Amino acid sequence: MKKYNVAILGASGAVGQQMLQVLEEYQIPVDTLLPLASARSAGGKIKFQGREVEIQEAREDSFQGMDFVLGAVKNAMSKKFAPAIVKSGAVYIDNSSAFRLDPEVPLIVPEINGADALENKGIIANPNCSTIITLMAVAGIAKLSPIKSMTACTYQAVSGAGQAGFAELEGQMAAAVNGGDMQCKVFPTQIALNVIPHIGDELDNLYTDEEMKMQNEGRRIFHLPELKVNCTCVRVPVMRSHSIAVTVRTEDKISVEDAKKAVAAFPGCRLIEDYQGRNYPTPLDTSAQDLVWVGRIREDLCDEKGLTLWCCGDQIRKGAASNAVQIMKYLIENK
């Protein structure tokens, strides 16, 4: 069996750490693992396949001999190192938003448009976490009839802000119980016992860049350039796993029963009809695994060609790390 040299750019962060775990779980045949991070994190140790591996400082000459590089860094660092990665001959699977709307870079959810990844020119983009989870939930329905528009409201866990998001919610919950001071550094206001209906930077149309990702990225993934999405993104006091309430409007009317069958049959999805006495998933149900759980499928009361559903998925795994590893797995199996 051929083995592959794999680098993780951003190995010390929450997504990078999860990538390491998923590589092992998926039994990816790794020969050499190269964990990379900033100079601040270099020298630390990570565990992989039963041994300790030292994190190295990422440099432009770090990628020679690598087959794949999994990116778990912010846009600026991704853009900085992408040319060197491509020049080295490795395939860069990037979790930042740096290249998601670049027409030369495939934007991939393997279960939906995996074949697009085979046309890469050295860079493949991982979509936004809420986009991945939402599109996975409705992809089975899209096979029955093209989606014309979606209205979505996301309920996003603090995991979307990385390790600092976890720490802030934990600190505020402790303060709420013990009467301490509420420290707000990561989020614009208190997140414990609260919700914040604003994620990202506000644009001229008064939507945030986080809210526009579902439309802009959904058009590319579904190959629907006219797709319209109205989205409101809300931060909620949940540790991990995002939830989305979404209404899809299709070209043809689809019955609730046909939609359920399509969702249940779609790879990577789990239809919830009777789970612990309920017909819906929660973030706790879906944490630490890769399936997108879908429930409460019902007719939209405003549009006869609309269907409304609720879905949940782990933001760190399927929304980021696992999707990246699945892209790599797809390339290995199909190239």
Q: Point out the residues that are catalytic.
A: 129, 242
309 SS3 class: strand
Q: How far apart are CA 89 and CA 106, in angstroms?
A: 17
Q: How far is CA 159 from CA 74, 134, 169, 314, in A?
A: 15, 17, 10, 9
Q: Which bin fits 65, alpha (ψ -120 to 50), beta or left (φ > 0)?
A: left
Measured over the CA atoms of residue 287, residue 211, residue 111 and residue 292, the dihedral's sign is positive
CA 231 to centroid of chain Cα atoms: 16
Q: How far apart are CA 67 and CA 85, in angstroms?
A: 10
- Encoding tokens for residue 128? 């936004």
Q: Are 325 and 22 in contact (CB under 8 A)?
A: yes
- Encoding tokens for residue 118? 């085979």
What strands lie across the sheet with 68-71, from one edge to the other?
56-57, 30-37, 4-9, 68-71, 91-94, 123-125
Q: Are 104 and 87 in contact (CB under 8 A)?
A: no
